[in-house]
Amino acid sequence: MSNLLDLLVAGLATGAIYALVAVGFTLLWQTSQTINFAQGEFVMLPAFLMLAVMHAGAPFWLAIILGILLSLLLLGLGFKLLLVDPMLRHGVLPLAIATMALAIGIKEAVKQFFSAEASPFPSIVPAGDVSILGRVVSLQSLGVLALAIAVVIGLTMLLNRTSIGHQMQATAQNPTVARIIGVPVERMILLTFLINAFLVALASLLITPIYLAKFSSGEVLGQAAFIAAIVGGFNQVRGAIAGGLLIGVVDNLAAAYVSTQYRAAVPMVLLIVIILFRPQGLLGRPEERTV
Amino acid sequence: MTINGKYWRIALGLAVIAALIIVPMNFNRYGLYILSQWAVMTIAAMGLNLTLGYAGQVSLAQGAFVGIGAYAAAIMTTQGMPLIAALGVAIVLCFAIGWILGYPALRVQHHYLAFVTLAFSTLAFLVFRNEDWLTKGIYGISGIPRPNVLGFATNRPLPFYYFCLGSLAIVSLAMWWLIRSPWGRAFVALRENPVRALSLGIDTRRYTLMAFAIGSALGGVAGALYAPLTQYIDPVPFNLSLSLDLLMMVIVGGSGFFFGPFLGAMIAVLLPEWLRFTQGYYLMLYAIAVMLLLIYSPTGILGILDRYLAERRTKAASALRAVTKSRLETAP
């Protein structure tokens, strides 16, 4: 019982990062039917971009800003213009396969141009512990959790309270009608790609200090984000958030109470059960099947 | 296709088969290993092509079935049983598991199905890694013997390559027959319009499960050949990326085309080898090549050919129409 609280806090912290990645993933799916199999690599890359800037002698804060800008450019604009736009009209599957190839490409590029070894990455949250109600809790976990929650709240406000958010939702729900009533659909789709790039860059910044920067770390992250998105609901932003938190907690509890060997199996079983009995996800709404 | 075209096709087919038999004769050990691997991966990709290309069910679990087949073969042959028995077990096992895995496909489609099968892949990998008593875990199973086929030992690379090639030929013929049978047509009907297929009296439930089961069984066949090919297996080659690779092979070659898996496996197995002279860059170049190909032709390599032939046919037809029309107009 004593370490349950620690597990919960750590689980919520990783879960909040998964949620950021999963939200970006569902946004891409909603506005442009892109299943991004490279989403995990998208999280891995910004950390290396920041490290590269730091190796050039820049201070950490500058590296963060430049890293995020580069992510927006490469993973947002570049991804959309060079890969998604030419392929979108050919259906979901070829594009999904192309993103798998992109995942290999990013991984290999990092391995080749940077390093095959894991590199340490500075944390933006100071290390140390604080005591809350007599319990010692890692400051890093709390900081990550707080930052991720702030971003998620900000994003939800953007989507639900602002005109741009409403236009984005209209684009996601019905692009044709959205276009008719005057929503600049193309610009909204580009905006979701930029938001996704921002979210993965932020997730990268938060998770890399915990797991080190390594070219192969995207695989685990990408899968966690997929599962979070599906479990929570593929077509709902709040679903992805709930799914991310749930997967983070379940993953941590499974490691402690089930077995470390089959730790990875628990989220998978959860995924299969959810898909079989509630395919729209915990918070999702059913998708009509097209004939 | 005119009679002339048919002869050309048969001649081309024979030439390719002859080349596959004769050219590797003076290949070195590594070259033969790669070619054998191509034959094995083609079989696995063919199975996936049946599930995905013909029946339209996305599966990210084919790599897991290759793993199941490989472990069945490795465990049984190292216990002294013949490979043919292991092959039988691999087929039955994968068929049964594939059938069960097909059940989600009855409820969910497309990306959901992809994720169920993805989860299955990961679970299978965990079982390979963690069940030490059966699979020897991360240490793997070594010393897998190669079989005697019709009295010939296949220990040396060349005979084993012929064994793989022969297996590929048998599987190809069976597949050729299958997709031309009423079953094959039912699979296509399932892909094109499941509701209409149902209304025409096709038992879509049974055919969906069947497409999964047969496709998975072929994955098992490929695995049962993979184990004696490498003679050592551990869980790593059967992780999710093998399933993704196989899916890529099918799409890149041309999903739903009979020869798609052959070309796709060639790209996925041989292209990285050809690019090896670029050293560290070869997988990167491979990834870029795949993306460029898919941007140019989302239906894969055979899609390009198909488009070209269709264009030529349209042109020929419209030329014919123009001629007939002008004749009609000049006629009194």
pLDDT tens, residue by residue, B249-276: 998 898 889 999 999 999 888 888 888 7
Query: What's the Cα-to-Cα distance from A264 to each of A37, A106, A223, A258, A269, rounded to whole Å?
Result: 19, 24, 10, 10, 9
Task: Dump pLDDT digits (tens) for A63-80.
Answer: 999 999 999 999 999 999
- Residue B11 token pair: 């001649």
| CA B261/CA B248 separation, integer angstroms | 10
* pLDDT tens digit sequence for B136-179: 888 888 888 888 777 777 778 888 999 999 999 999 999 999 98
Out of A35, A86, A109, name the one closest to residue B284 (CB): A109
The pLDDT value given to residue B331: 66
Residue-level pLDDT at B109? 66
> Which one of B100, B116, B192, B271 would you mutate to disrupt binding with A, by most A Cβ within 10 Å of its Cβ?
B116
pLDDT at A141: 80
Pick A263 or B180 by higher pLDDT: B180
DSSP letter for each residue of B125-194: HHHHHH-HHHH-GGG-EE-PPPPEETTEE--SHHHHHHHHHHHHHHHHHHHHHHHHSHHHHHHHHHHH-H
Asked if B332 reaches chain A (Cβ–Cβ under 8 Å), the answer is: no
Give the residue extent of every domain in chain A: 21-216
Rounded distance, CA A286 to CA A234, Å? Answer: 10
**What is the spatial distance between Cα B238 and Cα B221, in angstroms, rounded to a whole number?**
14
Please say whether the beta carbons of A230 and A275 come within 8 A: yes
Judging contacts by C-beta atoms under 8 Å, the chain A residues touching residue B114 are 35, 96
Number of DSSP helices (H) and strands (E) in chain B, helices first:
15, 4
For residues A25 and A235, the answer to whether their CB atoms sit within 8 Å is no
**For residue B47, which of B264, B194, B198 has the smallest C-alpha distance?**
B264
- Contact present, B125 and B240 (Cβ < 8 Å): yes
Complex ipTM over 0.85: no
Radius of gyration over alpha carbons of chain B, in Å?
22
A288 touches chain B (CB under 8 A): no
Domain ranges of chain B: 28-296
Residues 6+ apart with CB under 8 A from B318: none
pLDDT of residue A196: 94
Neighbours of A78 (CB within 10 A): 15
Q: Compute the distance between CA of residue A17 and CA of residue A28 in angstroms, rounded to an integer.
A: 17
What pLDDT score does A289 carry? Answer: 43
Q: Which residue has the tokens 């089959």?
A: A262
Look at A87 and B248 and tell me if their CB atoms are within 8 Å. no
Distance CA B154, CA B135 (A): 25
Determine contact: A291 vs chain B, CB below 8 A.
Answer: yes
Residue stretches of chain A with pLDDT short of 50 = 1, 288-291
- Give the predicted TM-score (pTM) of the model: 0.85
Selecting from 1.50.10, 1.10.10, 1.20.58, 1.10.3470, what CATH number does the domain B28-296 have? 1.10.3470
Question: What percent of chain B is modeled with pLDDT above 70?
Answer: 98
Q: Do B298 and A87 touch (CB under 8 A)?
A: yes
Q: Using pLDDT thresholds of 50, 70 and 90, give the confidence band for residue B38.
A: very high
Q: Do B284 and A105 touch (CB under 8 A)?
A: yes
Q: For residue A109, what is the nearest residue in chain B, using CA coordinates?
A: B284
Across the interface, whether the CB atoms of B251 and A97 are under 8 A apart is answered yes
Alpha helices by DSSP H, chain A? 4-32, 39-55, 60-71, 85-87, 92-113, 139-161, 163-173, 175-180, 185-211, 218-232, 237-257, 265-277
The chain-wide mean pLDDT, for chain B, equals 87
Q: Do A102 and B58 touch (CB under 8 A)?
A: no
